[in-house]
Amino acid sequence: MSKRDYYEVLGVAKTASDDEIKKAYRKLAMKYHPDRNQGDKAKQAEEQFKEVKEAYEMLSDSQKRAAYDQYGHAGVDPNRGMGGGEGFGGGGFAEAFGDIFGDMFSGGRAGGPRGGRQVYRGNDLSYSLEISLEEAAKGKDAQIRIPSWDNCDTCHGSGAKPGTSPKTCTTCGGNGSVQMRQGFFSVQQTCPHCRGTGKIIPEPCTTCSGQGKIKRQKTLEVKIPAGIDDGMRIRSTGNGEPGMNGGPPGDLYIEIRIREHDIFERDGDDLHCQVPVSFITAALGGEIEVPTLQGKAAIDIPEGTQAGKQFRLRGKGIKGVRSSYPGDLYCHIVVETPVKLTEYQRKLLRELEESLKKGGAKHSPSGEGWTDKLKRFFS
Ligand SMILES: [Zn+2]
Ligand SMILES: [Zn+2]
């Protein structure tokens, strides 16, 4: 099943501002709310909402949006979101409306690692790292800058302005969850007022806007294993976004992009390269030098080598991360037609042609077969 474009899902332009994206999300969230979609429509509305929610989560995060703009769905990892997004009871509607109403009413998010009833794992982050083919073959220690969250120094993580303190949420009595009726069922949902923390911050800390955490940058050392291939991902456990209410942090996924190489094309563990050979060498045979990732190698070209012939250099490919042996290097022969000939060279070639004609089809490996095919085609 192909995934719909996130912008299309939200019905916004690719150039939409954060505000426009948020507005579109709210509108759609209201549309698919269970209160308005009872009975037969409930299941479908829930599915549609999940799609909308995922699109919003991706496009409202500038890093994920950038990754999505560049690589499409391959650039972002929507699963493992907060609460798993399963149905109404988990991180589905309840959490989304917590998001929306939280913004509208509480004036700041209640943060802090303690006291919450509803525990959410942090979102995973995705990072795209471009490396060269040589680096992919040999492996590399890379340093990347990623966002990290520290406890706010001003409020020491409480999210409350110094001198004030968080109060117990009156909506849920500090439980962090409320009972909601959905058709026949009574469902426990995250309290939309305090977002599950059980606490309200009357005066949010101005340094962190009540989040209790400050976003910074940190440098992460990443070991890229030798043989890694384009599109592979390395997981860095716990380096994603922080969890909520004491939940564990998400993971960071480093997605490897391998830059196009001037000479080699990779196919799994094998490498391919095009090697130009003069038509004289192709006709007479001879030794030619070919490049390998490790340096140079020589190939003996036999007499009468045709264009497109390939020579395999065993073990001169790449040893994949899960392979026991390196792949091979395939050199594809490209026979070159000489250009910018002098009068003398032209004369030599004409003489050569005359001489070849006298020999008839025997000088042309595809000659007789080709003549037969033409005869059949035109008859
Ligand atoms: Zn603070
Ligand atoms: Zn509450």
- Ligand in closest contact with the CA of 111: 1
Question: To the nearest 10°, the Cα dihedral for 240, 243, 248, 250?
Answer: -20
Distance 244 CA to ligand 1 centre (A): 16
- Ligand in closest contact with the CA of 162: 1
Q: What is the pTM of this model?
A: 0.58
pLDDT of the residue at 117: 53
pLDDT of the residue at 77: 66
pLDDT beneath 50, residues of the chain: 80-116
Bridge-based pairing of strands 310-313 and 329-336 is antiparallel
Q: Which superfamily does 264-336 belong to?
A: Urease metallochaperone UreE, N-terminal domain (2.60.260.20)
Residue 331 labeled ligand binder: no
Cα atoms found within 13 Å of the Cα of residue 118, Cβ hemisphere only: 29
CATH 2.102.10.10 fits 6-72, yes or no: no
- Ligand in closest contact with the CA of 101: 2
Domain spans of the chain?
Answer: 6-72, 125-131+145-166+201-215+234-254, 264-336, 343-378
Residue ranges of the alpha helices (H) in the chain? 6-10, 18-31, 40-59, 62-71, 93-101, 133-138, 279-284, 343-359, 367-378
pLDDT of the residue at 80: 39
Residue 273 labeled ligand binder: no
Distance 108 CA to ligand 1 centre (A): 11
112's tokens:
């802090």
Distance 45 CA to ligand 1 centre (A): 38
From the number of C-beta atoms within 10 Å of its C-beta (0-12, 13-18, 19+), residue 344 rates as: exposed
Backbone angles phi, psi at 28, to 5 degrees: -70, -35
Q: Which residues surround ligand 2, an ion (CB under 5 A)?
A: 169, 171-172, 191, 193-194
pLDDT of the residue at 111: 38
Identify the CA nearest to 129 among candidates 117, 143, 115, 113. 143
pLDDT of the residue at 367: 72
Per CATH, 6-72 and 264-336 having the same topology is answered no
pLDDT of the residue at 199: 86
3-state secondary structure of 25: helix
